[in-house]
Amino acid sequence: MKNVVKKLLVAVFTVSICLYGCVHRDPAPVTREAVSNISFIVGNHSNADMPAYMHHAVKDAILTVCQTFGKCSVIIDDGKPYTAADYEFSAPKSALSNEKMNSIFNKESAIISNAIVSSPAKTGEVDTLSSLRLAGVSLSGTAGNHVIYILDSGLSTTGYVDFTQNILRSDPDTIVRYLRDCSALPDLGKNTTVVWIGCGNVSAPQEDLTPANLKTLKSIWSAIITASGASAEFIDVATSGKAVAGMPEVTPVGIVRDKPIDISDAFRKTDEETESSVPTEKVRVKEEPLILGEETVLFRPDTAEFADYESAKQALSPIADFMKENPGINIILAATTATVGSNESCKRFSLKRAEAVKKIFLILGISGDRISAVGLGYENSFHVPDLNADGTLNENAQKNRSVIVMDARSEEGKVLLNDQMAS
């Protein structure tokens, strides 16, 4: 363990110099309400990607807690989470120049950075719920803003929230009810925000999460954080490809794999000739569309960007392979949305998602003239009622966030294309 700590310390000075060697933000007058109190939960453990030490949000948070003379704790998320550091920064008794104050802030920031980077896991496994409880305790009783930054994967492997117990597809509300019944929810407070950086980022031997797994993981933690009185924000970052080496063992979480698309159900061979000029192609018109839900093609919230591009590409590959084998097949990609805002704006937004899927097919070697992209919004025959009486979205909303693959020769496909040409 001593050698591990030494290796971590080598990185500390690089991080400190990169993050805090050139700070020029002039200190501003601090009021009681403006004080920032921060707790960092850091996953310096096995099976997780290297925590996002260098993320700008981390840099800004560390500097802010120093400049506002707040309180900062560093908690290491392992099998028995512990507080690696607990600081309270006081204002100087006499007025100092901006240059002198910035020098002090840089030194204090480096102290926090050292604690974040150099404090290793001591106990095997990961208990993130207990880490959250520790963070809540460290911030209780302090005036001003409370922010908890979590730099970890979120794959807790022990305690009340143990993902090794096959809960990656569990209903978040069920988990919250269980924790509430066990009086296991942490007390985070209404003036607390939890900012999670790199949720779902893992390293070997932990297997990568699927888009559906990642969505469930975030939903579970978001529900727990909300039920604990705080608000949750997630910041996605690219994996570094590295891990903190030499840490105690963490049990890998079993990943629930999505069922691959079965093309045999989508298009069947028959004795009828297709419209293809290739006489050997004999494929029946597929009248029933193939609906790709969020478990297959998952986008980041409110964007046309894939949550996991490689997973989406892999999921769509069987369709592309089938189209290569059957050049007489052309498809329509019709994207739908939940009931949010006007249908016209949702049609424009869903079109962007359909076009994003089309781009993957182009990369997979399918000619663009064989694919039509359409945005349906939420007014379409595939829509499932997704609004409660009070106008809020219900559990059907995710069913309406889909991309529908249609055979362009089908009756519904022809009508859709005609409507698009007429509009």
Does a structural domain hold residue 1? no
Q: What is the pLDDT of residue 293?
A: 84
The answer to the question of residue 56 being in a domain is: yes
Please tell me whether residues 418 and 289 are part of one structural domain: yes
Instruction: Specify if 332 maps to a domain.
Output: yes
pLDDT(282) > 70:
no
Residue 304 lies in a domain: yes
Q: Is the domain of 225 the same as that of 125? A: yes
- Does the pLDDT of residue 233 top 90, yes or no? yes
C-alpha to C-alpha distance for 92 and 103, rounded to whole angstroms: 13
Ranked by mean pLDDT, which of 210-214, 256-260, 384-388 comes out on top?
384-388
**CATH classification of the domain holding 398:** 3.30.1330.60
Confidence tier at 101 by pLDDT (50, 70, 90): confident
Looking at residue 80, its pLDDT comes to 97
Supply the pTM of this predicted model: 0.65
Q: Does residue 395 sit within a domain?
A: yes
Torsion of the alpha carbons at 39, 43, 49 and 54, rounded to the nearest 10: 30
Q: Examine the domain organization and report whether 182 and 293 are in the same domain.
A: no
Identity (one letter) of the amino acid at 108? E
* Domain range for 77: 9-235
Predicted local distance difference test score (pLDDT) of residue 264: 56
C-alpha neighbours within 13 Å on the C-beta side of residue 291: 13
Which domain CATH number covers 21? 3.40.50
Average pLDDT over residues 183-210: 92
CA distance 168 to 159: 15
Q: Is the pLDDT of residue 392 over 90?
A: no
136 within 8 A of 192, measured Cβ to Cβ: yes
Q: In 3D, which of 197, 101, 91, 203 has the Cα closest to residue 150?
A: 197
Same structural domain, 307 and 368: yes
Of the two residues 89 and 78, the one the predictor is more confident about is 78
Tell me: do 271 and 366 sit in the same domain: yes
Residue-wise pLDDT tens digits, 116-168: 999 999 999 999 999 999 999 999 888 888 999 999 999 999 999 999 988 88
Is 106's pLDDT higher than 50? yes
What is the number of structural domains in the chain?
2
Average pLDDT, the chain: 83
Q: Residue 109 pLDDT more than 60?
A: yes
Are residues 331 and 212 part of one domain? no
171 shares its domain with 312: no
pLDDT at 284 over 70: no
Q: Note whether 340 and 382 are within 8 A (CB).
A: no
Last residue of a domain, one of 190, 216, 235: 235
Same domain, 216 and 355: no
User: What pLDDT does 137 receive?
Assistant: 94
pLDDT in tens, 327-355: 888 999 999 999 999 999 999 999 999 99
Average pLDDT value for residue range 89-105? 79
Q: How many CA atoms lie within 13 A of 300 on its CB side?
A: 12
* Residue 247 located in a structural domain: no
303-331 per-position pLDDT tens digit: 888 877 888 888 899 899 989 988 888 99
Q: Are residues 78 and 227 in the same domain?
A: yes
Binned at pLDDT 50, 70 and 90, residue 394 comes out as: confident
Q: What pLDDT band is residue 369 in, cutting at 50, 70 and 90?
A: very high
Q: Is residue 246 part of a domain?
A: no
State the pLDDT at residue 258: 63
Across 123-132, 134-143, 188-197, 264-273, least confident range = 264-273
In a domain, residue 243? The reply is no
Same domain for 38 and 84?
yes
- Are residues 217 and 335 part of one domain? no
Q: Answer for the pair 176, 224: CB distance below 8 angstroms, yes or no.
A: yes
Closest CA to 354 of 299, 282, 309, 393: 299
Q: Which of 235, 253, 275 is the last residue of a domain?
A: 235
Question: Do 226 and 319 lie in a common domain?
Answer: no
